[in-house]
Amino acid sequence: MVGGMVFLVSALVVYFEFIQPAYEEAQKIKSEELSAKAFLDSEKAAVNQVQNLISNYKGQGQIQEVVSLALPLKEDLSGALAQIYGLAQNNDLGFQSVSISVGGPESTPRSLSLGTQETSFRSSLKKAFGKITLSVRLSGSYGDLKNFLSQLETNIRVFDVDSLIIQPTTIPGKPAQDLYTYDLTFATYYQVQ
């Protein structure tokens, strides 16, 4: 019985002195290995995502062309008129008249709160732009105008609505209808090289 008790005490001493610290050290190493593997996997995923983006843009390669659709390199009056006319036709608005004025180049506003180096870097990226003002008279229902303005907002070329005047159109001998005349003034822009 004394031998069994000595054997039990020695087993407990061996367990608490050698086995338990080794087990805790093994768990610590295993957790470090798992965290390093998770970090490596996340870094690989980020690198793959960046490589995919680079390959996607490398294939297109014409970022200037994409930007030029929204902000053309020249006035492109016919393109601007075609977009306005097409949107009006798609929304059942009658295109009655148009007048155009082209403004000269203006420089983009600069931020004065930036540091000197950052200001010079950003200003070197900014170009002057020209402004085209289109005054258009359309006629149609109010719902058609709402659809027109919604599509104009998501159009590829940038258009700003400067003013909108709505006048009801009355037809003699008929009760009031949902028919209006709209005088809209748009501004669109182009890059000056």
The 3-state DSSP composition of the chain as helix, strand, coil percent (nearest 5) reads 55, 25, 20
pLDDT for 149 = 94
Q: What is 71-191's CATH superfamily?
A: Ribosomal protein S6/Translation elongation factor EF1B (3.30.70.60)
Most confident of 67-81, 102-116, 136-150: 136-150
Per-residue DSSP letter, 154: T
Query: pLDDT of 135-178, one tens digit each?
Result: 999 999 999 999 999 999 988 899 999 999 999 987 776 666 78
* Per-domain residue ranges of the chain: 1-61, 71-191
Tell me the pLDDT of the chain averaged across its residues. Answer: 82
